[in-house]
Amino acid sequence: MKITLEVNGTAHTLDVEPRRLLADVLRDDLGLTGTHLGCEHGICGACSVLMDGEAVRACLVLAVQCDGSSLRTVEGLAGPDGEPHPLQRAFSAEHALQCGFCTPGFLMVAAGALEADPDLADKPDAVAGVVGSNICRCTGYEPIRRAITRAAREQREASSTHER
């Protein structure tokens, strides 16, 4: 079946079997291997990507369902000039990753939440909801919470500087 996906700003026309999962199409057909498969049953969240701005499990979405959709993966998180996203800097600064396998999923769920809510920094419950969406077996989560909060603060400060 022919579909068109816009991934990280680039349009791709693909011919995919209906059963192929979005995660497999991103990884195998488009070579975007930053999206990891950790459980393939929607629990761990390592495969989370943004679909039309909302975080979804790429293992619980068929690629054909995304025909015409805009997708964003960890490869599209940094700025066009390669400038790291505040979340990427914050994850490193807070030691919010060890083996790094779950990291892209956390980054994308957090990116979706940050973009949807510029005031995320003031909402610890919402941050907890983000951290509580995925599984990490290395860090114990607390550094991830700190990193997301840090990035949210940075983003808000950056936007208020812009407004001035």
Partner 1 sequence: MEQWTRREDERLLTGKGRYVADIHVPGCLDAAFVRSKVAHGSLRGVDCTAARRVPGVVGAWSAADLPDLPPVPHTLLARLSTEEAVAGREWPALVKDRVRYPGEALAVVLGEDRYRAEDGVAEVTAEIDPLPAVVTPAAAVEDSVRLFDGLSNTALRGEAGEPVDPAVWREAAAVVEATYRQQLLMPSPMECRTILAVPEGDRLTVWSGHQMPHRLRRELAALLGWSTDRIRVVVPDTGGAFGSKSAAFPEFVVVAYLAVTLGRPVRWIEDRLESMLVATRGRGQDQTVRLAADADGRLLAYELTIDADVGAYPHLGVGLPMQTAWMAPGVYTTPHVHATLRSVLTNTMVTYPYRGAGRPEAATAIERTMDLLARRLGIDPVELRRRNFVPPDAFPYDTPTGRRYDSGNYAAALDLALETVGYDEWRAEQARRRGDPDALPLGIGVSCYVERSGGEPGGLHEFGSLEVHEDGTVTARCGAAPSGQGHETVFPALVARTLGVPEERVRLVEGDTDEQPEGLGSFASRSAQVAGAMLQHAAQLLIEEARHRAARLWGLPADRAAWADGTVHATSGGPAPLGLADLVKATGPLRVEDRYEAGMAFPFGAHVAVTEVDPDLGTVNVLRLVAVDDCGVVLDPTVVHGQAFGSAVQGIGQALYEGMTFGEDGVPHLASGFLDYLLPTYTEIPPIEIKDTCTPSPTTPLGAKGAGESGCIGTPAAIVNAVADALGTADPGLLQMPLTPDSVWRAAHAPRPEEGVR
Partner 2 sequence: MKPASFDYVVPRTVAEAVQALAGPGRTAQVLAGGQSLILEMHLQRIRPRLVVDINRIPELDGMRVDGDGLRVGALVRHAAFERADAVPGPLGTLLSRAVVNIAHPPIRSRGTMAGSFGWAHPASEWCAIGVALDATVEVTGPDGERALPARDYFLGPHRTARRPQELITAVRLPLLGGHTGVGFVEHRRTHFCFAQVAVAAALTVHDGVISDVRIGLVNSADRPVRARAAEQTLLGTEIGPLPTGRRLPDGHPFARAGRVAAQEDAAPVAEPYADAEYKRQAVAVLVGRTLREAATDLGSRLAVRQGDPR
**Amino acid making up residue 24:** D
According to CB under 8 A, which residues from 3 to 62 bind partner 2? Answer: 17-19, 21, 24, 40-43, 45, 48, 54-57, 59-62
Q: How far is 144 from 66, CA to CA, in rounded Å?
A: 29
Closer to partner 1 at the Cβ: 31 or 80? Answer: 31
Closer to partner 2 at the Cβ: 19 or 162? Answer: 19
Closer to partner 1 at the Cβ: 68 or 100? Answer: 100
Tokens 């700025």 belong to residue:
79
Q: How far is the CB of 163 from partner 1 (least distance, A)?
A: 25
Q: What is the DSSP string of 58-109?
A: TTSSBGGGGTT-EEE-GGG-S-TT-PPPHHHHHHHHTT--SS-SSHHHHHHH
Residue 77 binding target from partner 1, partner 2, none, CB below 5 to 8 Å by type: partner 1
Letter string b/e over residues 110-132, b meaning 16 or more CB atoms within 10 A of that residue's CB: bbbbbeeeeebbeeeebbeebbe
Q: Is the CB of residue 108 less than 8 Å from the CB of residue 8?
A: no
- Candidate list 30, 130, 147, 151; residue touching partner 2; CB under 8 A: 130
Q: How far is 128 from 50, CA to CA, in rounded Å?
A: 19
56: three-class secondary structure by DSSP: strand
Residue 54 binding target from partner 1, partner 2, none, CB below 5 to 8 Å by type: partner 2
Query: Which residues here bind partner 1, judged by CB under 8 A?
Result: 17, 19-20, 24, 27-28, 31-41, 43-44, 46, 73-75, 77-78, 84, 88-89, 91-93, 95, 97-104, 107, 128, 131-132, 135-145
Instruction: Please report, as ranges, the residues that interact with partner 2 according to CB under 8 A.
Output: 1, 17-19, 21, 24, 40-43, 45, 48, 54-57, 59-62, 64-65, 109, 113, 129-130, 132-133, 135
